Structure 1
């Protein structure tokens, strides 16, 4: 019997609504804002929350001195098409070598995430 079940993954950000809207454009779902400092994205198979952290310092990737802590892997059917879409939404490329089955980006608040070929 497990001790717990995962409820939500929470990302710190200076702009919770903006970051929730960024991920909504990628993953779909519904954005809810129960408080000024807290925004949730509810979608099929995913619940992400975005907590206001005005002094957040984004991780440096890759860097052993300022670790990324965690990242999201997002499966896509077409890496090139998905890449152009996330860049248009405000993602920043971190490692987009074309010879691999995944590419690494930073979201608008600086959190690393990967687009992975399904």
Structure 2
């Protein structure tokens, strides 16, 4: 028996609308600002768990790799062509953090707000 159902994964950032646009270009959906809380933007209309973005004026990007525990979490995205997907996320403003050894099936990037995420070959 489960206790709860995951409703949303929320990322703190300085500009929630811009970061929602970045992820909309990767996984689809439309950034929608909450009518009652202008600091909250959800990415709607894509498959999977809701991704949300909350304004945090003092947001400090996590470090990667983290030896001090500042990373806290990252997102993994499955792609069919990792090289093509890499070109697309870099064009959107991502930063390559770790390409790994040749032939590794995943690579690590940072989004424009500094949150790490991985592209993983299907």
Paired with 1:50 and 1:74, the residues of 2 have a C-alpha distance of 17
Paired with 1:61 and 1:29, the residues of 2 have a C-alpha distance of 28
Paired with 2:21 and 2:50, the residues of 1 have a C-alpha distance of 13
Q: Given the two structures, how large is their TM-score scaled by the length of structure 1?
A: 0.96
**Equivalent position of 2:95 in the other structure:** 92
Q: Given the two structures, how large is their TM-score scaled by the length of structure 2?
A: 0.93
Paired with 2:56 and 2:69, the residues of 1 have a C-alpha distance of 17
Unaligned runs of 5+ in 2: none
Paired with 2:112 and 2:68, the residues of 1 have a C-alpha distance of 21
Runs of 4+ aligned residues of structure 1 deviating over 6 Å after TM superposition are none
Unaligned runs of 5+ in 1: none
**Residue 45 of structure 1: CA displacement?**
1.5
**Residue 49 of structure 1: CA displacement?**
0.5
**Residue 44 of structure 1: CA displacement?**
1.3
**Equivalent position of 1:38 in the other structure:** 40
